[in-house]
Structure 1
Amino acid sequence: MKPQSPEQGAAGTELSSNALGVGGIVFLVLAAVAPLTGIIVVATLGIALGNGGGMPGAFIIATLILLLFAVGYAQMAKKLVSVGGFYAIVVKGLGRPLGLVAGNIALLGYNCFVAGAIGTSGFFTATIVNELTGLDLPWFAWSVISVVLVFLLTRKGIDFSAKVLGVCLVLEVSILLVLGFNILFTHGFSFQALMPQAIFSGSLGLALLFAANCFVGFEATGLFSEEARDPHRTIPKATYIAILFIGAFAAFTTWAIVSALGVAEAQGAAIEHLPTGDLVFMLSNQYLGDTLTKVMMVLLLVSLFAALLALHNSAARYIYSYGRVGILPKVLSQTRNSNGSPQNASAAQLLFGTVVAGIYYLAGLDPITALTASMTGFGTLGILTLQLLAAVAVVVYFRRSKDARLWKTLVAPSLGALGLALIVLLAILNFSTLAGSDNPVIGALPWLLVVAVLTGLATAQWLKSRRPEVYHELLSDMEHYDKVHHELAAVDSNS
């Protein structure tokens, strides 16, 4: 009996293969990073609370750390193709118990991040639409509208999402480049911002933390490997491009901002505008005028929606991955026959995020200081921790296999892991600042990482003794992509 293709025989359990090229994956991960939102919100926080006019240097340092990590990750991507992303890397490198720890952290981190993104998108949409048109709707109504649009787009397939996100990304990046080059040609850039005395002024640690926050989302490249064309080459390329683009774009844009403000005066100006969060809009109004500033406000909404769509795609694939191996109900691994979209995982993820946001809304809590602070704050910490675990797993895997390429598989990834360990430590020690809230309940959220570790280890032990077939599947699922494609190749050769 011939093996059947996913379209024929997998009855809606396979993702769409060969759907994404390098560009599509880059659009998916850069949209999750939300460059416009990152500059308007996160980078200005780094200027105000970090090292002030030296913030461009913090982005350069963060870029170097992540590039070092990417050196080892690229080698791992050539050996492992899995929708499990960094969770799969940890299974491969550190074993199944720690792999489940990583998987739990990924599920917590991404799902919390999406819940926060639902609130952030709803709040800013309500605020900006009201300011521009006078239409006054509750923020949760806009959140629900965003969720419905995300669900409809994801049902069209990952390639369609990539095209939509590509358009959104070009628009939001373009307006900031227009602002940056206008400042450059009008005012010029100050090289003082790149001098050691500026970079190491104030709190470089907090500056690095906020800079790393602007990269959250790049790690999702591996999540789309089973849907990529030639993933062994596509995923490493997409990862390098994503890191380099984020780093160069963020450094250039913040360099423009601090040059316009004055390097020495940048921190004071950012602190002054911290309560209103309008530092970038103020500069835009000064250099681009009122009309383009309003365009930037609209594009902020585009950026927030694109981030929600992209982060949802990532979160849904972790749920799908857990469903496929049997940790979560198998029904969550069902996909649409027409395009391989993980529709059940997608629906479950959006339901979770909407319910969480709805609870905050019904409780009368503020969407920014409560919902975004708690959910996005912990989501960021969780994803940074996931990156660290993957970095360690890469080093351990190649040492165990006695790989002779010391720079690519030991030195560079080890340096990257040390840099990520520093950033995770800074995130834990400064969690209230990262989350933007001094609420003691929000400040206690990092303890959820301990819960994820304990439940991951306990789940591994329970599966090993009570459901050994699922425990075994954690490893065999790593070869799922190769097995399916070998079957399809056999079908093609016999037809």
Structure 2
Amino acid sequence: MSRTDSAPDSTSLAENVLGVPGIVFLVLAAVAPLTGMVVIAAIGIAVGNGGGMVAAFVVATVVLLLFAVGYAQMSKVLTSAGGFYAFVVKGLGRTLGLVAGFVAMLGYNCFVAGAIGTSGFFTGTVLKDVFGLDLDWVVWSAVSVVLVFLLSRRGIDVSAKVLGVSLVLEVSILLVMDFAVLFRHGFSFDVFRPSVMLQGAGGLALLFAANAFIGFEATALFGEEAKNPKRTIPRATYLAIGFIGVFAAFTTWAVVTAIGVAQAQDVAAAHLSTGDLVFSVSQDYLGGALTKVMMLLLVVSLFAALLALHNSATRYLYALGRVGVLPRVLGRTRARNGAPQHAAIVQLVFGSVVAVVFRLAGLDPVADLTASMTGFGTLGILALQLLAALAILVHFRRARDPRLVRTLIAPGLGAVGLGLIVTLAILNFPTLAGSSNGVVPQLPWLLLVVALGGLVVAVWLRRRRPAVYDALDADLEAATEKVDTSPAGH
């Protein structure tokens, strides 16, 4: 047994292991392009503005790129595994930073719980359709959880490689379909006519377009594990947002052209209950064999998203454990490869328990588990993005940064756009979640409860555990200084 194998747990993540491609793979896998097109884009076309969904993706891309301008500048000032929680501590102070940390922690963990249900359900459905293998969805969810744990404990670089392969496969099959539509009869430019872009529920279209980007914000979470993070993180962020936007708009354009711009909303609505709009287009343009391949790659896409989201959720638990807000055992890592294995175990146990509770209650894995958990997770992450946008603005105004375009105008416009998206998410939460069952419509109130919980914990720490409260700032400075003084930071 080597010395590293027998070494005790440390508190440091692996350093200098992720370049721009690795971080982009981690982020885009969480976004899950194939899942985004099969589920999110199809719903946006049906309940939003039909063929105008293409323009909605373009608008969402512009909003997030404007936000990314300030995000990139903040990434050069601060490097931390706390991601957006760390940004809020830096810009808005420790109290609101804890609020952001709690929102991030619960939002990502709920998202993973929903992803466990989604992965199990669709894996079971696809394998039954393709191979005739019929097992309960909770069995496939359990298999997914075990595989995620085994991969995540091998280190973030191993996850990045696995996710890179899955990303290439799922993007490739959609591009084959897109170009099949393009080469057969071209794309219709009617999607950019004002009457098409402004028809239907444009607000819902923008909301679902923004939903397809959920996961891009995770680039900051891997700063301590990145090579030269002050360059790597901004580049990875721009690449991730740009790729998601262009790919989503291009594929949606292909789908809308294939089914007809004028009747796109009606056709999508007819496929809403079965969720097979994209598969129906694939059947027409690629045939049955490649459509089955696409269905199998959907399973791969969902697993990749679960693995990537697990890595993100784990790092929020790790960051809050390292500073002492959560039990410090969560802030320990494997000495061998820097994997935060204690946080990983807690994260997967939480998601698994939630999934099992829904199964024992006889609730539907999609209409109930995915709708409630992923719906709330989406709302939480959107709110976290808005808090980070405000923190970036405040930080650079306090510093009186003279670069007004980069630190005020562009990120300010991005913050306004994110504010609109968060408002739309709250007002249309049952539609965003895809269900109005049970308590789902009331879940936005949970966001307020979580925020109040963060405030209460902040007040308690300041009075009873001032060392931990003060450490919220010290931890950020220590992490940033460590990166700045290491070979990877130059």
Shorter chain as normaliser: what TM range? over 0.9
SS in 1 for 2:77: coil
Structure 1 residues 381, 486: closer, same or farther in 2, change over 3 A? closer
Aligned partner (choices 105, 108, 111) of residue 109 of structure 2: 111
2: CA distance, partners of 1:232 / 1:472: 25
2: CA distance, partners of 1:486 / 1:7: 28
Q: Which moved more, 1:197-206 or 1:293-302?
A: 197-206
2:453 match: 455
4+ residue runs over 6 A deviation: 6-10, 486-489
Q: Which moved more, 1:333-342 or 1:475-484?
A: 475-484
Structure 1 residues 294, 8: closer, same or farther in 2, change over 3 A? closer
Pairwise CA distance, 1:203: 0.8
Instruction: State the Cα deviation string for residues 376-411 of structure 1 (Å, max 9, x = none).
Output: 000000000000000000000000111111100001
Counterpart mapping for 1:314-329 below 5 A: 314-329=312-327
2:309 match: 311
2:176 match: 178
Counterpart mapping for 1:398-413 below 5 A: 398-413=396-411
Kindly indicate whether the alpha-carbon contact (under 8 Å) linking 1:25 and 1:224 is maintained by their aligned counterparts in 2.
Answer: yes
1:478 match: 476
2:74 match: 76
Give the letter for the 2:367 counterpart: T
Instruction: State the Cα deviation string for residues 22-65 of structure 1 (Å, max 9, x = none).
Output: 00000000000000000000000000000101111000000000
Pairwise CA distance, 1:134: 1.5
Give the letter for the 2:363 counterpart: L
Kindly indicate whether the alpha-carbon contact (under 8 Å) linking 1:30 and 1:169 is maintained by their aligned counterparts in 2.
Answer: yes
2:383 match: 385
Structure 1 residues 79, 485: closer, same or farther in 2, change over 3 A? closer
2:267 match: 269
Give the letter for the 1:159 counterpart: D
1:301 match: 299
1:145 match: 143
Matched, 1:241 2:239: yes
Aligned partner (choices 279, 282, 285) of residue 280 of structure 2: 282
Instruction: State the Cα deviation string for residues 142-180 of structure 1 (Å, max 9, x = none).
Output: 000000000000011000100000000000000000000
SS in 1 for 2:80: coil
Give the letter for the 1:151 counterpart: F
Instruction: State the Cα deviation string for residues 298-348 of structure 1 (Å, max 9, x = none).
Output: 000000000000000000000000000001101111111110000000010
1:493 match: none
Structure 1 residues 7, 239: closer, same or farther in 2, change over 3 A? farther
Give the letter for the 1:89 counterpart: F
Structure 1 residues 410, 485: closer, same or farther in 2, change over 3 A? closer
1:254 match: 252
1:216 match: 214
Kindly indicate whether the alpha-carbon contact (under 8 Å) linking 2:314 and 2:340 is maintained by their aligned counterparts in 1.
Answer: yes
Aligned partner (choices 22, 25, 33) of residue 24 of structure 1: 22
Pairwise CA distance, 1:453: 1.2
2:464 match: 466
**Identity of aligned pairs, percent?**
66
1: CA distance, partners of 2:295 / 2:105: 31
Instruction: State the Cα deviation string for residues 341-365 of structure 1 (Å, max 9, x = none).
Output: 0000001000000000000001110
Give the letter for the 1:229 counterpart: K
User: When the two structures are aligned, how many residues end up with a matched partner?
Assistant: 484
2: CA distance, partners of 1:193 / 1:488: 50
Pairwise CA distance, 1:483: 4.0
2: CA distance, partners of 1:81 / 1:395: 17
SS in 2 for 1:78: helix
1: CA distance, partners of 2:185 / 2:445: 47
Give the letter for the 2:284 counterpart: Q
Kindly indicate whether the alpha-carbon contact (under 8 Å) linking 2:94 and 2:458 is maintained by their aligned counterparts in 1.
Answer: yes
Kindly indicate whether the alpha-carbon contact (under 8 Å) linking 2:367 and 2:434 is maintained by their aligned counterparts in 1.
Answer: yes
1: CA distance, partners of 2:11 / 2:90: 23
Give the letter for the 1:457 counterpart: L
Q: Can you give the 5+ residue segments of structure 2 that lack an aligned partner in the other structure?
A: none
Give the letter for the 2:255 counterpart: I
2: CA distance, partners of 1:392 / 1:155: 35
Kindly indicate whether the alpha-carbon contact (under 8 Å) linking 1:82 and 1:480 is maintained by their aligned counterparts in 2.
Answer: no
2: CA distance, partners of 1:7 / 1:421: 48
Pairwise CA distance, 1:9: 9.5
1:49 match: 47
Aligned partner (choices 329, 347, 350) of residue 349 of structure 1: 347
Pairwise CA distance, 1:488: 6.2
2: CA distance, partners of 1:241 / 1:153: 25
1:95 match: 93
2: CA distance, partners of 1:82 / 1:180: 39
Give the RMSD, CA atoms, in angstroms: 1.4
SS in 2 for 1:183: helix
Kindly indicate whether the alpha-carbon contact (under 8 Å) linking 2:181 and 2:254 is maintained by their aligned counterparts in 1.
Answer: yes
